A and B are shown apart, each in its own frame.
Chain A
Amino acid sequence: MSNQFKNRAFTIQLIFMIVGVLFIIRLAVLQIFNNDYKERAERQALRNITQYPARGLIYDRNGDLLVHNEAVYDLMVIPKLAKDMDSVYFCKMIGIEMSDFTERMEKARKYSRFTSSIFMKQISMQDYARWQNRLYKFPGFYISQRSLRVYDKPIAAHVLGYVGEVNEKDLEENQYYQRGDYIGRSGLELSYEEMLRGVKGCKVMQVDVHNRQIGSYQNGAFDSIATEGANLYTTIDSELQAFCERLMGNKRGCIVAIEPATGEVLTLVSAPCYDPNMLVGRVRGENYANLAKDIRKPLFNRALQAKYPPGSIFKVAQAATALQLGAISPGTGFMCDKSKVGCHNHPSAGSVQSAIMHSCNPYFYFSYRRVIQQGKYKNIYKDSQYGLTVWDQYMSRFGFGKRLPIDLPNVNKGNIPDTAFYNRWYGENKWAFGTIYSNSIGQGEVEVIPLQMANLACIVANRGYYFTPHVVRYYGKDSTRNEEFYTRHETGIESRYFDVCARGMHDVVYGEGGTGHKAQVPGITICGKTGTAQNYGIDHSVFICFAPMDNPKIAVAVYVENAGPGGTWAAPIAGLVVEKYIKGEVRAEQARLYQQSNPCQRLPLTRVSKKKPTKKKTKTTAAAPAPATE
């Protein structure tokens, strides 16, 4: 029978070959014509591990470090490996209750048994050192390092700002961020976020079925290297900043000091202030809630956001504008006629200089009337509209009523009323000078932020121009600078008129009957102007000044809320600021005097510690609940 079925050999061989061909077709379908499997393979076997660049450092104008990064340590656990351990001893070592331990382990286990999760966040360096050599007894536990923002000096919180974890909105708006990333939330951290953060890198790692990393993918062929964040070199004088924050202790208000020749912000204080380290790390959540709840609003940056009535300091701008418009001349005199606006008792001013010195309200009422009612139109409403339009232009050149493009976020415009504003308010042709004259003395609808006040002092100091106030001189390795900050902004008012104003401001401090005598500093000629801004409570105390009179080095605006006349509080504070900046030190008896009159001021002012702050960062931040700095 052997050869009877010989042809069947071929049948069998054919069956084998058909199966082979079927398999090869199937392979072609899977491997060549279908790309889904490639994508799925990548999704499940590769992980992109982000490489975080170091966030840029921030320096002050003298090269002192203001912000750096410090390593913090997290205790991590891989639940699968954490077994057969003496958990009682472990709890004792890290100082937690057994129930807490069980809870934390359960949480970690729930997240993943095979990958690591944080067991305890941000342990201190001391704990790290203590635990490190005992941790080998507890398999599955290890310590991982992260970096945290550290503010070297407990100052300038409103300038530096803080960082926080990104939220859903950030993730939606910007593709760069991933869950868990940090982003600047306020201050320089926000406005220079893109420079400070650098560029994240990416490492492609292979993971196994339990999501454990098992090595680099193709020896890092697809990896990208992280670029470090740019360092910021700021214009802040940290010693002056610290000094000013002490001066403003237990007060509400602010101090802004600018170098007139450059527009560099030397100091920007909003009181009450807080230690920026309060908003870092483990203590942040609680501290932030406390700060946000505080009725004194420590998180509110008054220097940039508070719209204040400027009070009498506004008269300086009015004098210069009226002089330029030819409404008055330096020798023009007005009677101190208190029928329209009140005034204190002083001889009637016979010149602009004297009017500024005496801060004569009727004088500026009359001069403002000439500015507003120029007589171009018969109709007083039309005439006032025209006058106000002209005046608006000048105010805008002073930087009032518009957002000064300082390199800090959330700057308020203040308010300079224009014709549209009044038309909306009263209706067209229903208002005239008689309705709006309060503007002349810095009351009424006029609102100015402290930064604009300091800028006004700069303009007078420069006799007619200013540079946009800014906080960062340059940043990064190639010292990038913003050209906008180096552009001169002219007021269009001749400098000789500002000379008149400057002389008036000199007399405020030194003249007989001047209101700003308390700002005097021996050896420095200070030109200043007091303001007493009326509001619902006690008057705000306001003072702007620049010094020295010739070739000014510093322009200061001080605003103390509800403190009374400008000469009593704001002027002496401004004097101290000038003295501190120019002389480097304040006179002992001046400081003592000031301290005597200010019983709340607990700390000595004579010596500002030049030592670097001691290394006790995380602890101190947790311990300081009061937002007022020490």
Chain B
Amino acid sequence: MEKKRLDFITILLYLAIVLFGWFNIYAAVFDESHAAILDFGRQHGKQLIWMGLAAFSALVVTLVEPKIFSNTAYIIYGVVLLLLVVVLLIGQTTNGGQSWINFGAFKFQPSEFAKFGTALAISKFMSAIDLDFKNLRTKIYAFTIILIPAALILLQHDTGSALVFASFVFPFFREGLSGMVLLLGLVAIVLFVLALLINKYLLIGIVLVICIAYLFIWLNRRTIQEYLRVIIFFASCTLFIFSVNFVFNNVLESHQRDRIYVLLGKVDDPKGTGYNVDQAKIAIGSGGFMGKGWTKGTITKADFVPEQETDFIFCTVGEEWGFVGSAALICLYIGLLVRLVFLAERQRSTFARFYGYSVASILFMHVLINIGMVLGLAPVIGIPLPFFSYGGSSLLAFTILLFIFLRQDADRNALL
């Protein structure tokens, strides 16, 4: 009780993932003429520097008074918002996303830091003593806190990072948001996919049949409200289905449309839009059960997969470490996430708990989108695999995000 210790298991999982990641970055950019580990001109060498910096910031975070984060949450949030605006004005465009700020040789991606800034602010907001989450106004405030950075990031054309903000649905769910929201989200995704795949009217018919079946078969208590609710549900589904095509054709950008079509198998274009995913599948599939061995990957070594060391790093794992290695990495991530939820649950302050859930959910969203994309289960959305992909901002931001929570957890028994 009196000991203030950082959670050992989480740190172990974190270190395992980071080190495994580094080995894979080394293999992804491997080239016999640059085999030296401490070659700071190459990505694996640079990543070592970033790992040092991350360790340093983790140390700083653990040394400061934990209260400082909840006290300065809005300030940090404000700074992050400011940076997001700045990047829109002076940012540098990389891969179609305007999300980098240059400080000389040092490049910096504010959107990575927006995640923990937002997490802090929303946790702070949710931990207010007189908060009543059932109040609609409160809900609107809470969602606004999240939507502002998400919108700013969307303006940078960084869809992936913006999408991550949807992960806050989990902490809200934990704090009392109706489970219907999760369910409706799932229904929305299913309807979206089906609307693209099959005839709209057929789909509406199916929804109608399900609604009637719900009313007459499964539902015993047929009140006016229930009828009303089902009718509203059906009406909104119909509206949604009709709006899918509009959103798809007018809101999404053409490359996003193509990626979704490739995912759904409506377009087969392994030389063009589908190239990345196709090559990723070849790399992973050719790994087999045991993999080809570290730095022995033929597809990896030969640069067939673009973004091999960053967003598509999971290919390297799949090819060189095989099913065993990739499954192990997924287990590491799931272990970390489950552990984080467990830690969050033992917090005594709402701030720490909400923040813990936020951390777990943000990481989960990254893992879900990134690995889903590489495995061909999700459309291609460029976001890094946390702690694993090459990239300084990402590693630093995720480390700080995680260690702020670990610091809170270590201090959980302090007087509130």
Contact = CB atoms under 8 A, between A and B. Distances in A.
A13 B339 CA distance: 9
A46 B345 contact: no
A263 B284 CA distance: 67
B368 A40 contact: no
A16 interface: yes
A426 to B, nearest CB: 72
A16 B299 contact: no
Given A4-B176, A12-B174, A17-B334, A44 B318 contact: no
B285 A37 contact: yes
Nearest to A19: B368
Contacts of B322: 31
Nearest to B32: A215
A317 B360 CA distance: 106
Contacts of B286: 37-38, 40-42
Interface string A13-45: 100110110111011101110101110111011
Nearest to B304: A209
Contacts of A26: 375-377
Q: Determine the main DSSP class of B at the interface with A.
A: helix
A13 B287 CA distance: 30
A16 B338 CA distance: 7
Given A9-B345, A16-B334, A31-B323, A36 B285 contact: yes
A38 B286 CA distance: 4
A218 to B, nearest CB: 8
B160 interface: no
B302 A209 contact: yes
Contacts of A93: none
A214 B304 CA distance: 13
B10 interface: no
A103 interface: no
B175 A27 contact: no
A206 B281 contact: no
B341 A12 contact: yes
A77 to B, nearest CB: 23
A26 B376 CA distance: 9
A34 to B, nearest CB: 6
Contacts of A9: 174, 341-342, 344-345
A181 interface: no
Given A2-B350, A16-B341, A20-B333, A206 B301 contact: yes
Interface string A610-628: 0000000000000000000
Interface stretch (B135-143, B248-256, B324-332): B324-332
Given A37-B281, A45-B304, A31 B318 contact: yes
Given A16-B341, A17-B338, A24 B285 contact: no
B175 A38 contact: no
B93 to A, nearest CB: 24
B289 interface: yes
A421 to B, nearest CB: 66
Contacts of B341: 9, 12-13, 16
Nearest to B284: A30
A208 interface: yes
Contacts of A44: 282, 299, 304
Given A1-B133, A32-B323, A217-B298, A27 B318 contact: yes
Contacts of B298: 41-42, 45-46, 206, 217
B74 interface: no
Contact of B281 (A2, A19, A23, A30): A30
B353 interface: yes
A20 to B, nearest CB: 4
A249 to B, nearest CB: 61
B338 A23 contact: no
Given A12-B341, A31-B323, A41-B286, A20 B334 contact: yes
Contacts of B176: 1, 4-5
B97 interface: no
A261 interface: no
Interface in B87-123: none
B304 A31 contact: no
Contact of B299 (A27, A45, A210): A45
A6 interface: yes
B303 interface: yes
A37 B327 contact: no
A135 interface: no
B371 interface: yes
Contact of A31 (B288, B296, B334, B357): B288
Given A12-B341, A19-B368, A44-B304, A2 B353 contact: yes
A1 to B, nearest CB: 6
B192 interface: no
Interface residues of A, number: 42
A28 B298 CA distance: 20
Interface string B203-245: 0000000000000000000000000000000000000000000
Contacts of A12: 170, 173-174, 341, 357, 360
B380 interface: no
Interface string B337-377: 11001101100001001000100100010011001100111
A195 B367 CA distance: 62
A37 to B, nearest CB: 2
Tell me which of B176, B282, B303, B342 has the highest count of chain A C-beta atoms within 10 A of its own C-beta: B282
Interface string B165-199: 00000100111100100000000000000000000
Contacts of B32: 215
Interface in A412-433: none
A618 to B, nearest CB: 39
Contact of B327 (A24, A40, A45): A24
Contacts of B289: 31-32
B283 interface: yes
A24 B283 contact: no
Nearest to B361: A12
A207 interface: yes
Best-surrounded residue of A13, A46, A214 (most CB of chain B within 10 A): A13
Contacts of B174: 5, 8-9, 12
Nearest to A9: B345
Interface in A515-554: none
Nearest to A17: B334
Interface string B303-330: 1100000000000001100110011001
B126 to A, nearest CB: 10
Contacts of A5: 174-176
B272 to A, nearest CB: 15
Contacts of A22: 377
B375 A30 contact: yes
Contacts of A4: 176
A467 B367 CA distance: 84
A28 B344 CA distance: 32
Given A32-B289, A40-B286, A207 B173 contact: no
A112 to B, nearest CB: 16
Contact of A208 (B282, B303, B371): B303
Given A12-B341, A40-B286, A27 B302 contact: no
Given A41-B282, A41-B285, 10 more contacts: A12-B360, A16-B341, A23-B375, A27-B375, A31-B287, A38-B288, A41-B299, A206-B301, A209-B302, A214-B302
Interface of A: 1-2, 4-6, 8-9, 11-13, 16-17, 19-20, 22-24, 26-28, 30-32, 34, 36-38, 40-42, 44-46, 206-210, 214-215, 217-218
Interface of B: 32, 133, 170, 173-176, 179, 281-289, 296, 298-299, 301-304, 318-319, 322-323, 326-327, 330-331, 333-334, 337-338, 341-342, 344-345, 350, 353, 357, 360, 364, 367-368, 371-372, 375-377
Closest 4 CB pairs of A and B: A37-B285, A41-B286, A208-B302, A20-B334
13 contacts: A8-B173, A12-B170, A12-B173, A16-B334, A24-B327, A26-B376, A27-B318, A27-B375, A30-B281, A38-B285, A42-B298, A44-B282, A209-B303
